[in-house]
Amino acid sequence: MINRKKIESILTGSGFLDYCWINPRRIIVSQWVRVKCVFGCSGYGSGTCPPNTPTVEECRRFFSEYNNGLIVHLTKLAEKDSYPSDWSGQMTDRLLEIEKQVFLQGNYKAFLLNQACCSVCEDCSGNRTDCKDKSRARPSPEGFAVDVYQTVRRAGMKINVISESPSEMNRIAILLVN
């Protein structure tokens, strides 16, 4: 049995205050998300993005192996055409530390779907075999075919498409725990 209060304490102690628990079986996995990765995402082909991720059906089965998950909502004021890479890298470091702490509490299946395409290395090898930092590389929810908007809304959180610039950018991480 997981200790939700301890996990929540780790999150809030790391400055993440906007989160909610979700049953991972309620995460919406959709083929259209994968197609959008293939046709429309500049991260396609990097080490933790399709085609270096499981199939859509394998992703669906993966989520069914978990009983608990946390959706972590992050926001950052950003220009539409200028992704805040430094901020994203800092968030990745903090989220990976949370995953580690949750694991060390005895939650051996703890797994993070990062809030962005993996950006651990400046120059990605483009495949898992040659990844320079395999222990820290994590896929995004979209890389696992998660319909982020519908999943977040289903969990009762707010998220909207951003059409103005600059605007508060929404980033979503999912921490799976058993």
- pLDDT category at 61 given cuts 50, 70, 90 is very high
pLDDT above 80: residue 34: yes
Partner residues linked to 22 by β-bridges: 69
CA 70 to centroid of chain Cα atoms: 10
Percentage of the chain surpassing pLDDT 90? 67
**Biggest CA pair distance of the chain:** 44
**The three-state (H, E, C) secondary structure of 164-177, written as one string:** CCCEEEEEEEEEEE
Sorted by where each begins, the domain ranges of the chain are 4-177
pLDDT of residue 116: 87
pLDDT of residue 150: 97
Q: What is the pLDDT of residues 94-136, one digit of tens each?
A: 999 999 999 999 999 999 999 988 766 677 777 777 777 777 7
Average of per-residue pLDDT values in the chain: 91
pLDDT of residue 53: 92
